[in-house]
């Protein structure tokens, strides 16, 4: 039978099967530019003057771990790189230098990539996005609101002030004393957010703590003036989602997480071992009243998935540090991002 385009389906159906994959590279399709398609069980090939630009190599190993590569190099000098897919996306993000830097310096990809940030920034009806690099010289007076920030002192001790002379600016919380339980609580009362069905709330910040063995709280909570961590224990009688350190932590540099709705809480002790006097990024993502996710240095550390433990009232960013030893302690906040929007992209405000 003569070969023609009409017999192509018959030819494909009856073609001789390619050999089983082995460590030797098997060629499927060769062209005048070089090999265009190949497969095997070993690492991607590196032989010069063999593989065309854009050549595909399939590494066949096992279900869920097989990998596809593409030649980003040249025929003379091939450079096969792994193609991003659902199975390797997290690994590739963590390997990429930008993501590793962002994990401790800038916005975390695993936190923000799926958010509708550009939509919200361009159309205020869809929600709001707030970023503060703390470049203002904000020296707070206890009980008075300045730039949307309120300072509350414990035992009349504690200070909060901006340091615009620091590159990029920082906000410094100072216990102001070395007496146990003394220190400041900072509330960003202008950034009230409310978890509810269909609403996404994202908060991320970069901070460092000067000492081990100090009591602290960082996160979202209702804005009363009672200590969020006091008498060596986190205050569970609040609506909140945050990171904290109290006497229940296994080590003096550990941090735990809490998500609570006044009288029902989900506490996960010692989720993080945070290096002292080192900047880290922290993030909280509240998805409706379904889940609360806690991230540290861009990596998901804890998930709360019970609506019974997720707040349903207005909450705002809260930062607290209390001295618990004999040395004055500090918390430095480099930057803060907060975004609220409807998950389906709809407008929250009428036109």
* Total count of residues recorded for the chain: 351
Instruction: Give the pLDDT confidence of 301-348 residue by residue, as tens digits.
Output: 999 999 999 999 999 999 998 876 667 889 999 999 999 999 888 887
- pLDDT band (50, 70, 90) for residue 271: confident
Name the percent of the chain lying above pLDDT 90.
Answer: 44
Q: Whole-angstrom Cα distance, residue 59 to residue 94?
A: 21
The model's pLDDT over 24-63, given as tens digits with 9 standing for 90+, comes to 999 999 999 999 999 999 999 999 999 999 999 999 887 6
Q: Are 293 and 302 within 8 A, CB to CB? A: yes
Architecture of domain 99-342: Sandwich (2.60)
> What is the DSSP secondary-structure string of 188-222?
-TT--B---TTEEEEEEEEEEES-SS-EEEEEEE-
Pairing of the two strands 34-40 and 51-59: parallel
Q: Are 37 and 26 in contact (CB under 8 A)?
A: no
Predicted local distance difference test score (pLDDT) of residue 318: 94
* The pLDDT of residue 67 is above 50: yes
Task: Look at residue 103 and give its three-state secondary structure.
Answer: helix
Helix (H, G, I), strand (E, B) or coil at 41: coil
Domain residue limits, the chain: 5-82, 99-342
Output the CA angle 285-104-268, nearest 5 degrees. Answer: 45
- Band (pLDDT 50/70/90 cuts) for residue 246 is confident
Using DSSP's 3-state secondary structure scheme, residue 12 falls into helix
Q: How far is CA 275 from CA 56, 169, 207, 267, 334, in A?
A: 43, 22, 11, 21, 16
Q: What is the pLDDT of residues 167-210, one digit of tens each?
A: 778 999 998 877 777 889 899 999 999 999 999 999 999 999 88
Q: What is the DSSP letter of 63?
A: T
Q: What are the C-alpha distances in Å from 89 to residues 35, 54, 186, 288, 294? A: 27, 21, 37, 25, 20
User: Could you say which DSSP state residue 105 is in?
Assistant: S
């Amino acid at each position: 039978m003569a070969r023609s385009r009409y017999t192509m389906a018959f030819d494909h159906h009856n073609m001789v099967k390619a050999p089983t994959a082995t460590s030797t590279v098997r060629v499927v399709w060769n062209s005048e530019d070089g090999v265009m398609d190949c497969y095997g069980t070993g690492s991607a090939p590196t032989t010069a003057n063999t593989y065309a630009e854009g050549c595909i190599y399939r590494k066949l190993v096992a279900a869920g771990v097989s990998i596809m590569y593409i030649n980003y190099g040249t025929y003379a000098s091939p450079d096969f790189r792994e193609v991003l897919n659902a199975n390797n996306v997290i690994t590739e993000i963590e390997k990429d230098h930008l993501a590793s830097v962002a994990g401790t310096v800038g916005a975390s990809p695993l936190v923000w990539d799926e958010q509708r940030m550009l939509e919200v920034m361009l159309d205020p009806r869809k929600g709001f996005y707030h970023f503060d690099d703390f470049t203002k010289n904000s020296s707070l007076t206890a009980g008075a609101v300045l730039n949307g920030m309120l300072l509350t002192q414990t035992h009349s001790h504690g200070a909060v002030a901006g340091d615009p002379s620091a590159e990029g600016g920082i906000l410094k919380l100072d216990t102001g004393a070395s007496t146990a339980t003394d220190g400041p609580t900072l509330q960003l009362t202008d950034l009230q957010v409310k978890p509810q069905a269909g609403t996404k709330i994202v908060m991320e910040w970069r901070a460092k703590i000067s000492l081990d063995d100090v009591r602290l709280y960082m996160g979202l909570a209702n804005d009363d003036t009672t200590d969020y961590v006091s008498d060596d224990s986190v205050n569970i009688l609040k609506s909140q989602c945050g990171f904290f350190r109290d006497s229940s932590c296994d080590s003096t540099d550990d941090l735990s997480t809490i998500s609570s709705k006044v009288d029902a809480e989900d506490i996960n002790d010692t989720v993080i071992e945070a290096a002292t006097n080192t900047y880290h990024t922290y993030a909280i993502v509240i998805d409706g009243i379904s889940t609360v996710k806690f991230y540290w240095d861009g990596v998901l550390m804890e998930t709360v998935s019970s609506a019974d433990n997720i707040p349903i009232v207005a909450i705002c960013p809260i930062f607290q540090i209390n001295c618990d030893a004999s040395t004055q302690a500090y918390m430095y906040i480099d930057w803060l991002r907060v975004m609220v929007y409807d998950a389906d992209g709809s407008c929250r405000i009428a036109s």
